[in-house]
Structure 1
Amino acid sequence: MTKSLIAPPRGFERSEFENRTAKLQALMNAQGIDAVFFSTEPEFRYFSGFKSQFWESPTRPWFLVVPAEGLPIAVVPEIGVAGFDDTWVEDVRSWPAPRPEDDGISQLAGALKDVSKRHLKIGAMLGPETHLRMPAANFKMLQELLSQYEMVDVATLVRDVRSVKSAAEIAKTRFACEVTAAGFDYLYANLKAGMTEREACKAMHIEMLRLGADACPYLISASGQGGYDNIIMGPTDRTLERGDVLIIDTGANFDGYFSDYDRNFAFGQVDQATHMAYEAVYESTEAGLRIAAPGRTTGDVWQAMWNVLEGAGALGNDVGRMGHGLGMQLTEWPSNVEGGDVVLKEGMILTLEPGMTFAPGKMMVHEENILITANGCEMLHKRAWPTLPVIDR
């Protein structure tokens, strides 16, 4: 049994939130934005420090206003007010939610008006990979109440701030990654033919929780003779048999920060093409590790990995990208895509995820988590096995 790992401290110092907010406010002032509001959990938590499982309930909305100067303002249901005693937010406004006829919208509009008197410009997360987490009618009501203001998208500004992680954020992500690595080692030692995909995933899930993960909300698998053709639907009750290849892709969470990577296993003998495909995606990841550095782009990383896969005879890449950002969400901006122009910066955390269709109906996907450093990158956990692990039990 793997010994428990040493977890980093939970939560953040007040200075962490001050720095995050100051960075956003500098960007806001440069664009003449008086205030922004957030209504989704990651952004709300990132700038306020408010962390609650109550977001799982869709009944009540939550809002955070960040003015161009000063501290954030929380506009929240009365049930959540006490939760702000442990945050740095001092101005907390509430209403008796749920109240469908006006579920905090007039309070939110009032807070925005209070701090939006200079440029009459208000920001919200309106771009790709975002949502508002409120009924369309509520957003329409908000727009009507703020009709004299210009509403602009601030998704790019927020991504610029969130994509570069602090030392404390990196420590939390690294721990989640180390727990996942230990979970995969445990699985390797305990996998055997005759288990189902679901049994394998549950065994790993329980071990990661024992090692210190808070949760593992993402744990998927796929299997098939000599390979697999889908990586997002399992686990199923399919029994693992000799000749199968199993992939498990998981995201463990510690204190609100994720890991996200996979491992492949063969059961007994599989054909040489499968072994060669595994070694191709491994070498593709090596190419990504060599090129990922400050100043390089996501497109550079994609191209380096794809060159290896293409040289190995890849028929295609059905995943659509070869990695992404990682942190408070399982997948964050940016994506490693062909022609991607996002410049890598020190402190970014990314996944490298090369995938190839190596035969009709057969895929091989590999994923690792890396930190961009001053001179290149480093793994946040132990590297995968260089050759396909074979389970003979």
Structure 2
Amino acid sequence: MKNIRSAPSRGFEHSEFAIRTEKLQRSMAEQQIDALFFSTEAEFRYFSGFKSQFWKSPTRPWFLVVPASGKPIAVVPEIGVAGFEQTWIEDVRSWPSPRPLDDGVSLLADTLQGVANTSGRIGGMLGPETYLRMPAANYQMLLEHLSAYQIVDVSKMVKKVRSIKSPTEVEKIRFACDVTATGFDYLLAHLTTGMSEREACKLMHLEMLRLGADTCPYLISASGQGGYNNIIMGPTDRRLSHGDVLIIDTGANFDGYFSDYDRNFAFGDVDRATHDAYEAVYASTEAGLAIAAPGCTTGELWQSMWSVLEEAGALGNDVGRMGHGLGMQLTEWPSIVEGGNVVLEAGMVMTLEPGMTFAAGKMMVHEENILITEHGCEMLHKRAWPTLPIISR
């Protein structure tokens, strides 16, 4: 197997967090928002640099307050205070969590009230593809504490800020993508008939860890005779047999940043319709690559890919979209959907993910990761095989 690029440095310069925060604060000023708060890991980490495995536990809430100017303020359980010594955050306020009757709610409210003293508008992540990560009763308590303020949704604003990746972010994603590409090459060389889906996925999982991935929290598969009809489950203990098509879709993670793409494999002879479907989704991706550039809308990108699939006889697309943003989360805003009006900008990292139902109960899906550049787009990893690879072992 080829040697992959060296892993980039971990973490970020403090200046990068300042740039992110100032960009958000400019948008806050335009919408007359005095302060906003975050309670979910991705936004908290993006603006603070605080990275912890404690987010896996549902016991303690964590809050970050962004005022109209100046550095964010952390409102966190006492157990986490020491972790901020390596971040750019200076103001860290804490309470002895867990304390179910008031688990940081009044401290968060006091902090927000202390900085929201102009327009009386406070922002939170309340829109689509967000969640609060705090009990409903606690959120209701927070609203009662802040009854004199208007609580507004800032999710679109925050998603837009996060959608433009810095060069440092791109290099972390690129490394995760390179690890995944090399893992797929390794799998192609070692897949055999009779192996189970679970064994195949574990083989690739271990190789990606060896190559430098920190984790591979997303690794799914599906298989079936001449195709598959479910791409969000698995892997299972189903044994791969002659005539099967296997898809593996995975997201390796390096320093908090994901890759996300898939590859398809055929075992022995499969019918011409399956080969044609593979080549159709490959050509569909080519159409997307040809127009993905600043100024193109997500709807135009969707149409360019769907037109190829429709001409190839696609019966439908049951996935609901043909790609999405990528970064600190496996799927990020925006989605590539029919009629989408989000305009692509340089610095966005996207997946192109055309898929088609090509026969009753049979799907074919293809996915690649790209960076939108000033004049077009750039693949972040090795392109898929142009024809369906055959496993004859």
Shared fold, TM over 0.5: yes
**2:34/2:117 contact within 8 Å kept:** yes
2:131 alignment partner AA: H
1:3 alignment partner AA: N
2:156 alignment counterpart: 156
1:18 alignment partner AA: A
Query: How far did 1:2 drift?
Result: 4.3
The equivalences for 1:333-372 within 5 A come to: 333-372=333-372
Query: Can you list the C-alpha shifts for 1:117-145, whole angstroms capped at 9, x where unaligned?
Result: 11111000000000000000000000000
1:53 alignment counterpart: 53
What TM-score do the two structures reach when normalised by structure 2? 0.99
1:392 alignment counterpart: 392
Q: Distance in 2 between matches of 1:198 and 1:106?
A: 47
The equivalences for 1:142-221 within 5 A come to: 142-221=142-221
1:254 alignment counterpart: 254
Q: Distance in 2 between matches of 1:6 and 1:71?
A: 33
Query: How far did 1:53 drift?
Result: 0.7
**1:4/1:212 contact within 8 Å kept:** no
Q: Distance in 2 between matches of 1:160 and 1:383?
A: 28
Secondary structure in structure 2 of the residue aligned to 1:302: helix
Q: 5+ unaligned residues in a row in structure 1: which ranges? A: none
Secondary structure in structure 1 of the residue aligned to 2:217: strand
Secondary structure in structure 2 of the residue aligned to 1:177: helix
1:375 alignment counterpart: 375
The equivalences for 1:25-64 within 5 A come to: 25-64=25-64
Query: How far did 1:4 drift?
Result: 5.1
Q: Distance in 1 between matches of 2:15 and 2:269?
A: 55
Would you say 1:100 and 2:81 are equivalent positions?
no
Q: Distance in 2 between matches of 1:370 and 1:121?
A: 37
**1:201/1:219 contact within 8 Å kept:** yes
After superposing on structure 2, the runs of 4+ consecutive aligned residues of structure 1 that deviate more than 2 Å are 1-5
Query: How far did 1:75 drift?
Result: 0.3
Secondary structure in structure 2 of the residue aligned to 1:232: coil
Query: Can you list the C-alpha shifts for 1:57-102, whole angstroms capped at 9, x where unaligned?
Result: 0000000000011110000000000000000000000000000000
1:88 alignment counterpart: 88
Query: How far did 1:3 drift?
Result: 3.2
Query: How far did 1:247 drift?
Result: 0.1
Secondary structure in structure 1 of the residue aligned to 2:370: strand
- Work out the percentage of aligned pairs sharing the same amino acid: 76
**1:4/1:210 contact within 8 Å kept:** no
1:307 alignment counterpart: 307
Query: How far did 1:5 drift?
Result: 3.6
Query: How far did 1:172 drift?
Result: 0.2
Secondary structure in structure 2 of the residue aligned to 1:216: strand
**1:5/1:212 contact within 8 Å kept:** no
**1:122/1:149 contact within 8 Å kept:** yes
Q: Distance in 1 between matches of 2:123 and 2:215?
A: 33
**2:4/2:178 contact within 8 Å kept:** no
**2:4/2:182 contact within 8 Å kept:** no
Compute the RMSD of aligned alpha carbons. Answer: 0.6
1:295 alignment counterpart: 295
Query: Can you list the C-alpha shifts for 1:139-181, whole angstroms capped at 9, x where unaligned?
Result: 0000000000000000011011000000000000000000000
Q: 5+ unaligned residues in a row in structure 2: which ranges? A: none
Q: Distance in 2 between matches of 1:371 and 1:120?
A: 39
1:15 alignment counterpart: 15
Secondary structure in structure 1 of the residue aligned to 2:102: coil
**1:2/1:186 contact within 8 Å kept:** no
1:78 alignment partner AA: E
Q: Distance in 1 between matches of 2:71 and 2:4?
A: 39
**1:277/1:364 contact within 8 Å kept:** yes
1:120 alignment counterpart: 120
1:109 alignment counterpart: 109
1:73 alignment counterpart: 73
Q: Distance in 2 between matches of 1:77 and 1:14?
A: 23
2:283 alignment partner AA: E
Q: Distance in 2 between matches of 1:274 and 1:71?
A: 55
**1:323/1:354 contact within 8 Å kept:** yes
1:358 alignment partner AA: F
1:252 alignment partner AA: A
What TM-score do the two structures reach when normalised by structure 1? 0.99
Q: Distance in 1 between matches of 2:275 and 2:32?
A: 56
Query: How far did 1:250 drift?
Result: 0.1
Q: Distance in 2 between matches of 1:367 and 1:220?
A: 14
